[in-house]
Amino acid sequence: MKTDIEIAQSVHLQPITNVVEKLGIDFDDLELYGKYKAKLTFDKIKAVEENAPGKLVLVTAINPTPAGEGKSTITIGLADALNKIGKKTMIAIREPSLGPVMGIKGGAAGGGYAQVLPMEDINLHFTGDMHAITTANNALSALIDNHLHQGNELGIDQRRIIWKRVVDLNDRALRHVTVGLGSPVNGIPREDGFDITVASEIMAILCLATDMEDLKERLANIVIGYRFDRSPVYVRDLEVQGALALILKEAIKPNLVQTIYGTPAFVHGGPFANIAHGCNSVLATSTALRLADYTITEAGFGADLGAEKFLDIKTPNLPTSPDAVVIVATIRALKMNGGVAKDALNQENVEAVKAGFANLARHVENMRKYGVPVVVAINEFITDTENEIAILRDLCAAIDVPVALASVWANGADGGLDLAETLVKTIDSTPANYKRLYDNNLTIEEKITKIAREIYRADKVIFEKKAKTQIAQMVKNDWDNLPICMAKTQYSFSDDPKLLGAPTGFDITIRELVPKLGAGFIVALTGNVMTMPGLPKTPAALNMDVAADGTALGLF
């Protein structure tokens, strides 16, 4: 069997200029990065702003399991299939971080015959967006430390700086550091830490900004820490939002690439789906909507985290709301949700499919609360049995949700035709009537409680003392009318990663809140969220190489 990189390197790519011609994009609308990657110019983004948006399809999933669901693969394969049945379709998905690439074998550009290409570039430096974000983030850190060193005119309390540095690598040794050591000429000593770049608030900002002015405004609003009197210090107090925006002036432009089947794809931005909202950029999705009849986009993790945030945080910034939500599941993952261990997944287990279906059913119900029609996509595996598939079809019928099998990993566009047709039929027959889950004018406690009860199905929310103090402070700072970005385990509806399926009878505990004024939301943490991964005992880097002619080897 061919590996992903072997499949990718066997494809004859078209120049990106040809791929986007059918969307009405000319050579002069592009800033090429090699022959197969390009950024779209601001002029073109502006020029199509008045176009009526096409249909928007959000791809999400059940709670992730170690069995794997293949959400990106389905997103890409579905778009390829839609193009094949004559619908002018674009993809808008996230770009991967280099950190995990060096750590664990496995890319983030789809898989098998459903990939965006050139996958080596997309998984390495791509068009430099991550590097620009890293640089802007760390320039701000350097400017903060320089401000302290040069006399601290703003009276920043160095113990209460919440802005951390970042690198786009998995590097556990940088999680907790002390800086400014060694001598008075080396600045003011203080504790600090590094997150991975995708966890930077600047990544979330880049993905929510609607244009350059909005970007600058959001950067200016970042809270970097507090004064000795606990009043907040903003980037605008340091007057460096212009410089940060300048560093990001290319990164904000959406990147264009192609799938194996030549479907044009925006691959742009990639914030975390726990401490941030987990979706590709608003600019990419908005522009795709104005260029194509169908835009297929994706949200991080399961629907309880990613889709909730897509619908409550990202959608209000888009020119339209989703016309359908596709929920991806696999028979294997349903079985895991039904209690089967990973090493027993290859055996038929109809009862486990039934039990695990509770997880899928609850996500379907949740998505319907937003007034959007739902389609279930089953990402086929060779180990799926006829009996298992039959019971799943029955269960879907019972809750009246259309279901389609997809084998895009193995069969590419052809493997997605059923799903594409089911989706088009659903959209054509069931008009969406989008509404948000909560009103931003509710209190912070009310908003969190609404998400926890209606999406997670918790009995109640427990706010720890620290969280209560922080909420009071946020009310005082007039920050309480922002949406909530929940940071919770992706593995369960609850805040306990071990409670699979559709748990009930649990509480959600809010330990801490973090203001992300630039992104425009308040993060509510239910536990410790890992914002800097580590490398495994045998990092994937050990297998990597490059041939004398520059060909990437051993990447995936």
Catalytic residue positions?
A: 71, 73, 94, 105, 273, 301, 381, 409
Residue 386 Cα distances to 6, 199, 327, 331, 383, angstroms: 31, 42, 21, 11, 10
- Return binding residues for ATP: 65-72
Nearer to its own copies, 234 or 438 (CB): 234
Distance separating alpha carbons of residues 318 and 436, to the nearest angstrom: 13
Nearer to its own copies, 29 or 69 (CB): 29
Judged by CB under 8 A, which of 13, 48, 104, 177 binds its own copies? 177
Distance separating alpha carbons of residues 281 and 270, to the nearest angstrom: 8
Q: Give the nearest distance from C-beta 267 to its own copies in angstroms.
A: 16
Nearer to its own copies, 42 or 438 (CB): 42
Q: Give the nearest distance from C-beta 184 to its own copies in angstroms.
A: 10
Instruction: Using DSSP bridges, classify how beta strands 521-525 and 512-516 pair: parallel, antiparallel or unpaired.
Output: antiparallel
> With binding defined as CB under 8 A, does residue 436 bind its own copies?
no
> With binding defined as CB under 8 A, does residue 167 bind its own copies?
yes
**CB-CB contact of 160 with 129 (8 Å):** no
> With binding defined as CB under 8 A, does residue 180 bind its own copies?
yes
Q: Give the nearest distance from C-beta 309 to its own copies in angstroms.
A: 28
Nearer to its own copies, 175 or 453 (CB): 175
In the chain, the largest separation of any two C-alpha atoms, in whole Å, equals 72
Q: Which range of residues in 181-189, 338-346, 361-369, 497-505 is near its own copies by CB under 8 A?
A: 181-189
Type and span of the H or E element at 402:
none
Binding to its own copies (CB under 8 A) within 220-239 occurs at 239
Binding to its own copies (CB under 8 A) within 195-214 occurs at 211-213
Question: What six digits make up the tokens of 389?
Answer: 């598939």
Name the DSSP letter for residue 220: H
**SS3 at position 127:** coil
Distance separating alpha carbons of residues 545 and 555, to the nearest angstrom: 8
Judged by CB under 8 A, which of 98, 284, 444, 519 binds its own copies? 98
> With binding defined as CB under 8 A, does residue 181 bind its own copies?
yes
Judged by CB under 8 A, which of 20, 59, 245, 461 binds its own copies? 245
Binding to its own copies (CB under 8 A) within 105-124 occurs at 124
Contacts made by residues 349-352, CB under 8 angstroms, sequence distance 24+: 349/388, 350/387, 350/388, 350/391
Nearer to its own copies, 121 or 414 (CB): 121
Judged by CB under 8 A, which of 250, 414, 418, 446 binds its own copies? 250
Q: Give the nearest distance from C-beta 5 to its own copies in angstroms.
A: 12
Closest CA to 132 of 224, 34, 33, 44: 33
Judged by CB under 8 A, which of 117, 267, 392, 552 binds its own copies? 552
Nearer to its own copies, 239 or 394 (CB): 239
> With binding defined as CB under 8 A, does residue 169 bind its own copies?
yes
Q: Give the nearest distance from C-beta 272 to its own copies in angstroms.
A: 19
Specify whether the backbone of 352 is left (phi greater than 0), alpha (psi in -120 to 50) or beta: alpha
Q: Give the nearest distance from C-beta 170 to its own copies in angstroms.
A: 7
Q: Could you tell me which residues are beta bridge partners of residue 247?
A: none
> With binding defined as CB under 8 A, does residue 398 bind its own copies?
no
The single residue listed with the structure tokens 């239910």 is 526
Distance separating alpha carbons of residues 206 and 161, to the nearest angstrom: 22
> With binding defined as CB under 8 A, does residue 178 bind its own copies?
yes
Instruction: State in Å, rounded, how far the first CA of the chain is from the last one.
Output: 13
Q: Give the nearest distance from C-beta 131 to its own copies in angstroms.
A: 4
Nearer to its own copies, 243 or 529 (CB): 243
**CB-CB contact of 16 with 256 (8 Å):** yes
Q: Which range of residues in 334-342, 433-441, 503-511, 540-548 is near its own copies by CB under 8 A?
A: 540-548
Q: Residue type for 6, please?
A: E
Q: Please count the residues of this chain forming the interface with its own copies, following the rule CB under 8 A.
A: 79
Distance separating alpha carbons of residues 474 and 484, to the nearest angstrom: 13
Q: What is the dihedral of CA 298, 490, 383, 553, to 10 degrees?
A: 70
Residue 99 Cα distances to 114, 298, 436, 487, angstroms: 23, 21, 34, 21
Binding to its own copies (CB under 8 A) within 251-270 occurs at 253
> What does the H/E/C string look like for 131-142?
HHHHHHHHHHHH
**SS3 at position 403:** strand
Binding to its own copies (CB under 8 A) within 120-159 occurs at 124-125, 128, 131-132, 134-135, 138-139, 141-143, 145-146, 149-151
> With binding defined as CB under 8 A, does residue 219 bind its own copies?
no
> With binding defined as CB under 8 A, does residue 242 bind its own copies?
yes
Q: Give the nearest distance from C-beta 214 to its own copies in angstroms.
A: 10
> With binding defined as CB under 8 A, does residue 445 bind its own copies?
no
